[in-house]
Amino acid sequence: MARSLTLDWYAISHPSPGVTAILEPLQREHVLSYLIAGSERAMLIDTGTGGQSMRALVALLTDLPVFVLNSHSHWDHVGSNHEFDDIAIHVAEAHELAYRYAPEEIAEFFGEDSLLGPLPPGRSLETIGIGPSAPTTILQGGERFDLGGRSLTAVHTPGHAPGLLSLLDEENGVLFSTDTAYPGPLYAFSDETDIPTYIRSMELLADLAPSLRYIHPSHNADLMPVSLLPRMRDALIDIQQGKAPDHVDETKATYEYEGFGVYAPLPVEQP
Whole-number minimum distance, CB 4 to Zn ion, in Å? 30
Residue nearer to Zn ion on the CB measure, 43 or 147: 43
Whole-number minimum distance, CB 65 to Zn ion, in Å? 26
The sheet with strand 260-264 has its strands ordered as: 185-187, 260-264, 253-257, 247-248
- Residue 118 preceded by cis peptide, ω within 30: no
Please work out the total of residues on this chain that contact Zn ion, with binding judged by CB under 5 A. Answer: 2
Q: Where is 138: in which H helix or E strand?
A: strand 137-139
Which stretch, 56-64, 129-137, 172-180, 230-238, contacts Zn ion (CB under 5 A)? Answer: 172-180
Whole-number minimum distance, CB 38 to Zn ion, in Å? 25
Task: For residues 39 and 57, give the distance between their C-alpha atoms in angstroms, rounded to a whole number.
Answer: 19
Which stretch, 6-14, 70-78, 126-134, 195-203, contacts Zn ion (CB under 5 A)? Answer: 70-78
Q: Interface with Zn ion includes 74 (CB under 5 A)?
A: yes
Q: Of all residues in this chain, which one has the CB nearest to Zn ion in the complex?
A: 74
Residue nearer to Zn ion on the CB measure, 184 or 230: 184
- Beta carbons of 8 and 197 less than 8 angstroms apart: no
Q: Which of 46, 93, 179, 222 touches Zn ion by CB under 5 A?
A: 179
Kindly tell me the sign of the dihedral angle through the C-alpha atoms of 80, 82, 85, 90: positive
Whole-number minimum distance, CB 160 to Zn ion, in Å? 6
- For residue 263, the cross-strand partners are 187, 254
Whole-number minimum distance, CB 90 to Zn ion, in Å? 13
- For residue 19, the cross-strand partners are 16, 36
Q: Which residues bind Zn ion (CB under 5 A)?
A: 74, 179
